[in-house]
Chains A and B, each alone.
Chain A
Amino acid sequence: MPPQQAVAALPARASSNLRLGLLVPAVAAVVALALLPVFTSGYVVYVANVLLVYVVLSLGLNLVIGEAGQFSLSHAAFYGIGIYAAALGNKLLGLPLVGCLLLAGVVAALLGGVIGTIALRMRDIYLALTTFAFGEAMQWLFLNWEPVTGGPNGLRIPPSSLFGVEILNDKQAYPVVLGVALLMLGATVVISRSRLGRAFRAVRESDVAAMAMGIPVRRVKIMAFLLSAFYAGVAGGLFATFSTYIHPESLGFQTTMTVLTMVVVGGLGSTGGALLGAVVFGLISELLRQAPAVQEMTYGLILILFMMFVPRGLAPAVSRWVRGRGHV
């Protein structure tokens, strides 16, 4: 697929220079992000938390669709499972924050593995539609399993605690959300460059050819679903740490589509793209929250225009621009 080819085509020297050149701004960005709550209002921090959750969601969806080429449309379901697992772990079991996050990730990953196993029988449109159906069925479950999820009334989450300190507001939650998001980002880079990441891409290009090369295609596909669901679950757990209330309304197809949009607008198959798409699109949707009609029209126009004129997404376009400047 094109983004990888573009990177591979770079001479080794240029790529290491580029990496060094990226290191400084990356460190600066992390420091700036870490200091964000010191300088800004609670609302900005809240938006930052939401964006970071979107980043983790996008990274996960990019793993299964972008890297492994499996068209899964049940991301919001795993996200929802993560939210409820974390909230209930906190509320009923009294788990500390780290335990809640792990529980959220693991429960989602297990279900992701099950869906991945079922999905082995299907491809393309049928896979997309089965996972879509699973997502819708899960949302129905969230809405109707009242003893556990609170149903349409929603569920109140008690504040989670980290090392005995209760997290009561967005600013307190922010370091945790940022730390976990960075951890997940790092893990994505490691996975993407590992043997497993290469296996994902081989399966994406052609599972027959991958099988011929000795890649255990079935296991790799299940792994893609499982990992992607783990990300979504952790994202849900993060959401639960800075929210006091969950409502199943926001856990349907619309959310899956929002995340898919982020991944595609950012650049399918590229980690940087998932990051960029989540931040840019998340900001747009937050800025236009008050005007739903305008928000929807803007979404629609962005999607259509991107597919017409920037079909590979933001990340390849940006990296081409950066490299172009470097040569001058």
Chain B
Amino acid sequence: MDSEVLFLFLQQGIASGIVSGSVYALLALAIVMIFKTSEVPNFAQGEVFMVAAYAALFLIVFYGLPMWVVIPAALLFTVAGMMLFEAGILRRVKKALGEPVNLVIATLGLSFLLRGLVRQTGLGDTPRSFPSLVSTDPVQIGQAMLTRLDLAIVGTAVAVMAAVFLLFNFTRAGRAMRALGMNPKAAALVGIDIRRTHAFVWGLSGLVSAISALLIAPKILMTPEMGHVAILAFAAAIVGGFNSLPGAVLGGFIIGIAENLVGLFVSASAIVVTPFLAIMAVLVLRPQGLLGGRPQMRKV
């Protein structure tokens, strides 16, 4: 492979990697914000993402609603669902025994339930495509070819990341969420409403996942298994450091770019295994992830 082709592949890999990476980054952000405050790796995040896309599709197919109604409705539906799960189910599970395993299994239960429900509606029987708001005309950046849709995806994703960053750092609700992540008891002592903050975090996480779902939906074929993308988001979160929000974003872009470069330079079948090799490498060399703080020792 001569240097010109190499340079072209490199540009294309990085450009496409940033597009898919921005979606992984959003989903990883959604996972990490829940983990930071509730200490639960939410195994249903991928299914929440899937349900958001199918909810939008459902409104389009069965009611023929216009996009400006469909998108807010799907977002709202996902947010409400996540809050309901946290307040109605997870809170009860926490009270029942409170072991981390039990919480994980409950989210796993949710993932099965959601996938089953979508299958039951019959919408998932055949792969579906989601209408795109933005045209898919090609755009050339450097020597890399992207589409207008790709640019819109990256733009929206970055705007959402910025909004989450501002929310966490400069608002009262954001401070409450950070306090909850640091020490729930102390947070309660200084007057933070723990229950409301938990519900808020889950709702916000649902919102971010739903946005990432609606962004990527026009680019992929929808199936009830599309929630598998969450595996890449988990990989991104691990690579970045599982308790770091900036780490999740960084990890998302790393995984996206790594995947595309491996696809171009090695082989298409090696794409699937890239994130796992990245995870194992990062965890063996730097177990807390790239931007994760020092792992805390549990008290005896």
Q: Which residues from chain A sit less than 8 Å from chain B, CB to CB?
A: 65, 71, 118, 121-126, 128-130, 132-134, 136-137, 140, 144, 206, 208-209, 253, 257, 260-261, 264, 268, 292-304, 306-309, 311-312
Contacts and interface: CB of A to CB of B under 8 A. Distances in A.
B109 A126 contact: no
A122 B112 contact: no
Contacts of B287: 121-122, 126
Contacts of A261: 105, 108
A301 B114 CA distance: 10
B76 to A, nearest CB: 23
Interface in B121-177: none
Given A133-B276, A133-B279, A311-B97, A300 B113 contact: yes
Given A122-B287, A297-B116, A129 B108 contact: no
Nearest to B120: A293
Given A122-B287, A311-B97, 13 more contacts: A126-B283, A128-B41, A129-B238, A130-B279, A130-B284, A133-B280, A137-B273, A264-B105, A298-B116, A300-B109, A300-B112, A303-B105, A311-B102
Interface string B281-297: 00110011000000100
Contacts of A257: 108
Most buried by A among B235, B242, B276: B276
A294 B116 contact: yes
A44 to B, nearest CB: 27
A302 B109 contact: yes
A133 B300 contact: no
A303 B272 CA distance: 29
A311 B99 contact: yes
Contacts of A304: 89, 106, 109-110, 113
A303 B112 contact: yes
Residue from A294, A295, A311 with most neighbouring chain B CB atoms (10 Å): A311
A159 to B, nearest CB: 32
B217 to A, nearest CB: 21
Contact of B97 (A206, A295, A312): A312
A296 B227 CA distance: 14
Contacts of B108: 257, 261, 303
A299 B112 contact: yes
A298 to B, nearest CB: 8
Contact of B242 (A125, A132, A133, A137): A125
Interface residues of B, number: 46
Contact of B101 (A134, A208, A268, A298): A268
B269 A144 contact: yes
A140 B276 contact: yes
B112 A137 contact: no
Contacts of B41: 125, 128-129
Interface in B192-246: 231, 234-235, 238, 242
A299 B109 contact: yes
Contact of B235 (A65, A133, A253): A133
A122 B109 CA distance: 26
A212 B295 CA distance: 22
Nearest to A122: B287
B283 A206 contact: no
Please give me the 8 A-B residue pairs with the lowest Cβ-Cβ distance, nearest first. A300-B113, A303-B109, A296-B116, A297-B116, A300-B112, A311-B97, A293-B119, A304-B109
A216 B96 CA distance: 34
Contacts of A301: 109, 113
A118 B284 contact: yes
A236 B142 CA distance: 52
A264 B279 contact: no
A137 B109 contact: no
Nearest to A304: B109
B16 interface: no
B182 interface: no
Contacts of A122: 283, 287
A126 B110 CA distance: 22
Contact of A137 (B105, B114, B276): B276
B93 interface: yes
B109 A292 contact: no
Contact of B93 (A123, A124, A136, A307): A307
Given A130-B280, A300-B114, A260 B96 contact: no
A296 B242 contact: no
14 contacts: A125-B41, A129-B234, A133-B276, A206-B300, A264-B105, A268-B99, A292-B116, A293-B119, A300-B110, A300-B114, A307-B103, A307-B105, A308-B92, A308-B93
A206 B275 CA distance: 32
B116 A299 contact: yes
Contact of B102 (A124, A264, A296, A297): A264
> Which one of B89, B102, B277 has the greatest number of beta carbons of chain A within 10 Å?
B102
B27 to A, nearest CB: 15
Given A137-B280, A294-B116, A260 B105 contact: yes
Interface string B257-270: 00000000000010
B12 interface: no
Contacts of B276: 133-134, 136-137, 140
B186 interface: no
A294 B272 CA distance: 29
B77 interface: no
A312 B99 CA distance: 10
Contacts of A307: 93, 96-97, 102-103, 105-106, 109
B277 A137 contact: yes
Nearest to A308: B92
A121 B285 CA distance: 10
A312 B102 CA distance: 9
Given A299-B109, A307-B96, A208 B279 contact: no
